[in-house]
Structure 1
Amino acid sequence: MNLDHPTTAPAIRVSASAQPYPRHRLALLRHGWAQRRFGVVLLALALALVMPAQAASHRVVVYEDGNGNGQRDDAETGLAGVKLVLNERVLVLTDAEGRAMLPARGRDTIALVKPPGYAVPLREDGLPDFWRRAASVGEPLDIAFGLRRSDTSNRFEVLVFGDPQPKSLTDVDYYRRDIVEPLIGQHTARIGVSLGDIVHDDLSLYPAINAVTARLAVPWLHVAGNHDLDADAADDDSSLATFSATFGPDTFAWEEGEVVFIGLDDVIHLPGQQPAYVGGLRPAQFAFLEAYLDTVPADRLVVIALHIPLFDVDPERETFRSADRQRLFALLARFAQRLVLSAHMHSQLHYLHDAADGWTGQVPLHEYNVGATCGGFWSGLKDGDGIPDSTMADGTANGYALMRIEGSNYRLAWHPARDIHDTQIALHAPKVLRQGAWPGVSVYANVMMAMPDALVDYRIDDGPWRAMARVHEADPGMLARNLADDASDVLRGYDRAPQASVSSHLWRAPLPTNLALGEHRIQVRSDDRWRGEINAETRYRLDQAAP
């Protein structure tokens, strides 16, 4: 995690031993914030204690930019009580005039926590303008953040992209045509977020992919992934220099309506080891979380956005440090509504953390492990538009998620890319069976957004509805793609479809063969937690055959 971030040049991270704020002084700042009844007075006292006489200081003003011209005019007033974050760990409030003074110690980054009811302007590159960074060590900044009043409704939408991950400009073009262009002018989202692996190791692609995403014309937040690391970084502290130069703080907060969005870099870089990273959080991130969450009312919806899932994905090893997970759980426990958004897996899963995971809340903590925008890494057979199929290894179509917010409640939906039918259940069944054959061949239903307690039914023609059995198997559609790649004498695509993996949302049921000759309809239904009943259908035929 970067402690210091650049605006235009690569970051130099500050190691734990070289932090500009001794531990007791950082604790004092957190304590000053926690005692909110003393407000700005106690915060000012705390800051005075960490600022030696004659020290250089950053001067910040946050004001309402009434005419949106990007500069403060005489009649435009300061905004009091706006939260500012110094180097992702020190939290302060603006005073009654919208001003704050912060000590200049290192190559400091100052970020704004966007308050609800206001909008930040977009920079020339389309990214939200909510942070600044000193160009050199100790350089004092003079910052003016101009905010405009915006929609105050607590009903809004958020676009969520997991792993866009282009490897080349060709992949950026797939992203443009497959994901972004179909959304232009068709969505009503207020903000968007990408959950890491913005690119696939080639960080020079950042400007190209940002130019595409910016066409959606909403503030877009970015979380770092393991493929966003600087390849030559010697340690974790310096591993996100390029990412931070582009996107700003890798730990941030953003307030919209009755929702708090917190982005966290949870990729701990371990150079020289295999694997070269592990999921986890750092002491400075916990310092920020403790200070910031103490300012958030318990009835707010807290959304944690990160890349590596909190659950362990490999039974043989710890993929997210358990001590960090428990510490995060403790900070989230007091909130009635919370949601974790993760990515990384290039599959889709709803995980409910409970007592077995160390979660102590009265209801499980919902983690939505979002499918990848790039799906199976922009791989597979191309369609008539020259765009790869890119279905994920678990059979989930590539696409994007949409989160609908109503107050402090959320609703989730997955939208397959360029799918005019918005398919929610992918079916796989044989085209023809022999009448009277042993009924051992099944129809499979891949219910892409199924929760752990989901039920799926099917029926043949107008017969009775019967329960399908949830199975932990590979999606047969993906297996078919793998076999077709194996059997082909020529390459069917630039990259093969990913090897089929066990799906967490797959159901199976046997197809009867004792029906009349001819075609029969298969109907499948399930109750989606947020959409209600969803349906799919296909057909198979019964023929006669001689021995």
Structure 2
Amino acid sequence: MHRILTLTALCTLAGAVLAKDPTYIGGVHVVRGAGDGADMARGTVFLDENRNAQLDPGEAGLPNVQVSNGREVVLTAEDGTYELPAYDDMNLMVTKPAGYATPVSADMVPQFAYIHKVDGSPDLRFGGIDPTGPLPEAVNFPLIEDAVGAEFNCLIFGDAQAYTNREIGYVRDTAGQMLATADLSDTECLIFAGDVMGDDLSLYPRFKSIIAVGQTPQYFVGGNHDIDFDAEDDKDSFDTFRREWGPEYYSFDIGDVHFVGLDNVRYPCNGVDPHPFCATDANHTYNGVITGRQLEWLENDLANVPEDKLIVLTAHIPFQTFTDNTAAKHQTDNLDELVAVLGDRPVLGLAGHTHTTENIEKGEHFHGWEENTNVGPAPFHQIIAGGLSGSWWAGDLNAQGVPHGTQRLGSPRGFYELAFNGPEFVDTYRTFHTHEDEQFHASFNTPRFREWAERLLTYRALYEREFDQTPPVVRRDLGDMLMLTTDDLAEGTWLTVNVWNGSASSVVFASLNGGDAMPAERTQSGTGEEKLEGVDYADPLALAMQSTQGSIAARSVDGGDETAGFTTWQGTSWSGKANPFQGWMLTDNSSHLWRLDMPNDLPVGLHTVEITVTDRHDRVYRDTIAFEVVEELPNLEWQAEFWE
């Protein structure tokens, strides 16, 4: 039976794990004193033998550890000491070496940085950073030995993007439930690729307490919904994020992997970046770009990293994306400059933002990339991790009591698991409601579906953000999607297979009634072509899920307008008559959809199709679907004529 855990139960579970495996709780050791106000930052990286997070007499300094002020990077001396130029607004941070661990907060957030902002933040809605005053006499970074080898796992989460306490409850019932019950003994990090919150940054503490149940260090990058929207300058826009999670960019090592968190959300971009949406007379908004200071830091950071180490970059806005392939705002403007810094190193890029799963192999290419990122074919492997929220916690409730939120390219809500072995990795997409061996879904694109979908899409284009109109079709008008008429077959029907983590190397076969396996074709080749959209390129099952949300029409005597329908985004009410998702959320295109034309002469009766998917790691996944062929569709509703 499905178990919804209360926060108390989550905390109890966390305590049980903690009692079994003591965690290194503490922080950076800041020494105030006579040296305050110096123009150089100084301190020691040391082995914290007694785990009290303070540099005590006799504790040894650690040499050759990277320390940075966010621009310059130095290696500690033989005695563990370092010295760096100081800036009035900087993150003084250590790069955790492989084989060591930093302290974590009680909520499992690694403590590897001292945030120095002399005058503090401007007056911000969510507080930002209090004035730190003069530079401390010393900032010491404690480490303990942590014998993690070359084999380990990390879990990658895209946009949780919870706007309300109700949606934080959904985080609890998905990620919290999973983290509380999963075997995380081999998991060394949880990485969140931005949009942790949905603009209301006061919800951070509750989110922390839920994710902490995993008792695994959590690393975050900021998204465009984690910013202080009342900041007038980009240098202040992530101040509340920095207060809660730490630096907006940083690095750390585990095994043979060098992890880098990047900030590629410039806010406001107005008057800075040369895009119409960044014009000085436009409303303040963001743009996807990596600052020059950050690129300088990264070049200095990588100078101390062996060339054969895998570099795992995490940013919020994708470096490149199929979903928003022609949009500058939703990709990284200066990807070419990042590529120049990375050189020929092995790289994996992780991102969120689009609420889609995309597994982009090196060399793959879609129209719009060169124009909007200054790079054509993908320069390195990239994974867009989907949304923990799916499509923004939208939709009717699923069997787990959470909005189904079927994502824009058709994948269910989920997260990625990365299994590292040296500099190699294996990526697996996981959902919160299916077995890990379930990696795809399939359905049929029939003439009946295409007519239905055309009417749905046309309606949604006409009433893009309204829910008080009666739609021309709803899910039930499709009839039985696994019942094909002889006319459907004669006029063109094909099997569609949505491989949630599908990539250019994925191979899909289908076998009808135990016959020979037939190859399916990916609808997008990834060779520089434009995005193919419309009913011919739609995912019928995903579109059916997205087409009719009955909860929009929910209304009660007690709640009235307050609880009518459902809300997402900044309190936006989806209220009125049952309706589909907004048009841009509907799966009428996908980069991971495969197609196989059905024979036009299948006899009437029950048939089966066995689908086999082989991923780029040669793992094989199978499923079998039973379907019917009929001369004509029967009445699917109550046959009242027998009772007249």
TM-score (norm. length: structure 1)? 0.83
| Matched residue type, 2:285 | A
SS in 1 for 2:545: helix
Shift of 1:379: 1.2
The answer on 1:114 being equivalent to 2:165 is no
Q: Give the Cα separation in 2 of the matches to 1:317 and 1:96.
A: 49
Shift of 1:321: 7.5
The 1:413–1:510 alpha-carbon spacing in structure 2 relative to 1, beyond 3 Å, is same
Q: Give the Cα separation in 1 of the matches to 2:97 and 2:246.
A: 18
SS in 1 for 2:44: strand
Residue of 155, 162, 168 corresponding to 1:166: 162
Preserved CA contact (<8 Å) 1:260 1:302: yes
The answer on 1:264 being equivalent to 2:262 is yes
Residue of 54, 75, 84 corresponding to 1:93: 75
The answer on 1:500 being equivalent to 2:589 is no
SS in 1 for 2:225: helix
| Matched residue type, 1:147 | L
Shift of 1:416: 1.1
Residue of 115, 120, 126 corresponding to 1:133: 115
For 1:374-453, what aligned pairs fall within 5 Å after superposition?
374-420=389-435, 422-429=437-444, 430-434=481-485, 438-439=489-490, 440-453=492-505
Unaligned runs of 5+ in 1: 1-51
Give the stretch that moved more between structures: 479-488 or 258-267.
479-488
Q: Give the Cα separation in 2 of the matches to 1:262 and 1:214.
A: 22
For 1:49-448, what aligned pairs fall within 5 Å after superposition?
55-86=38-69, 88-134=70-116, 135-184=131-180, 185-187=182-184, 188-269=186-267, 270-271=269-270, 273=282, 276-311=285-320, 314=324, 316-319=326-329, 324-335=334-345, 337-352=346-361, 354=363, 357=370, 364-420=379-435, 422-429=437-444, 430-434=481-485, 438-439=489-490, 440-448=492-500
1:535 is matched with 622
**RMSD of Structure 2 on Structure 1 (CA):** 2.9
Shift of 1:323: 6.3
Residue of 543, 547, 569 corresponding to 1:479: 543
Residue of 599, 610, 615 corresponding to 1:523: 610
Shift of 1:410: 1.1
Number of residues of Structure 1 aligned to a counterpart in Structure 2: 493
> Could you report, residue by residue, the CA deviation over 1:94-148 in whole angstroms, capped at 9, with x for unpaired residues?
2111122344442443111001100111113321111112443433253232211
SS in 1 for 2:549: helix
| Matched residue type, 1:112 | V
The 1:488–1:460 alpha-carbon spacing in structure 2 relative to 1, beyond 3 Å, is farther
The answer on 1:458 being equivalent to 2:493 is no
Q: Give the Cα separation in 1 of the matches to 2:516 and 2:325.
A: 40
Q: Give the Cα separation in 1 of the matches to 2:552 and 2:144.
A: 58
Q: Give the Cα separation in 2 of the matches to 1:145 and 1:424.
A: 43
Shift of 1:76: 2.5
SS in 1 for 2:301: helix
Give the stretch that moved more between structures: 273-282 or 454-463.
273-282
Q: Give the Cα separation in 1 of the matches to 2:165 and 2:198.
A: 11
The 1:193–1:145 alpha-carbon spacing in structure 2 relative to 1, beyond 3 Å, is same
SS in 2 for 1:291: helix
> Could you report, residue by residue, the CA deviation over 1:502-532 in whole angstroms, capped at 9, with x for unpaired residues?
1111122234464454321111112111251
Q: Give the Cα separation in 2 of the matches to 1:63 and 1:437.
A: 71
| Matched residue type, 1:348 | T
Q: Give the Cα separation in 1 of the matches to 2:283 and 2:517.
A: 50
| Matched residue type, 1:420 | H
TM-score (norm. length: structure 2)? 0.71
SS in 1 for 2:156: strand
SS in 2 for 1:226: coil
> Could you report, residue by residue, the CA deviation over 1:54-76 in whole angstroms, capped at 9, with x for unpaired residues?
94543311111234233344442
> Could you report, residue by residue, the CA deviation over 1:422-479 in whole angstroms, capped at 9, with x for unpaired residues?
4201112432223576442332210111112433111111111112232342321232
Q: Give the Cα separation in 2 of the matches to 1:489 and 1:388.
A: 15
Shift of 1:258: 1.0
SS in 2 for 1:176: helix
Q: Give the Cα separation in 2 of the matches to 1:546 and 1:266.
A: 53
Q: Give the Cα separation in 2 of the matches to 1:347 and 1:360.
A: 21
> Could you report, residue by residue, the CA deviation over 1:356-377 in whole angstroms, capped at 9, with x for unpaired residues?
756699x951111221111111
Shift of 1:289: 1.1
The 1:138–1:103 alpha-carbon spacing in structure 2 relative to 1, beyond 3 Å, is farther
The 1:420–1:497 alpha-carbon spacing in structure 2 relative to 1, beyond 3 Å, is farther
SS in 2 for 1:309: coil
SS in 1 for 2:548: helix
Q: Give the Cα separation in 2 of the matches to 1:351 and 1:62.
A: 39
| Matched residue type, 1:235 | D
Shift of 1:385: 3.4
Preserved CA contact (<8 Å) 1:346 1:375: yes
> Could you report, residue by residue, the CA deviation over 1:270-327 in whole angstroms, capped at 9, with x for unpaired residues?
2563681111111110110111111111111011110111126645552368762111
Q: Give the Cα separation in 2 of the matches to 1:546 and 1:215.
A: 51
| Matched residue type, 2:141 | F
1:14 is matched with none
Shift of 1:420: 3.1
| Matched residue type, 1:119 | A
| Matched residue type, 1:451 | S
Q: Give the Cα separation in 1 of the matches to 2:53 and 2:552.
A: 59
Q: Give the Cα separation in 2 of the matches to 1:488 and 1:90.
A: 53
Q: Give the Cα separation in 1 of the matches to 2:602 and 2:259.
A: 55
| Matched residue type, 1:466 | M
Give percent identity, aligned residues only: 27
Q: Give the Cα separation in 2 of the matches to 1:193 and 1:375.
A: 17
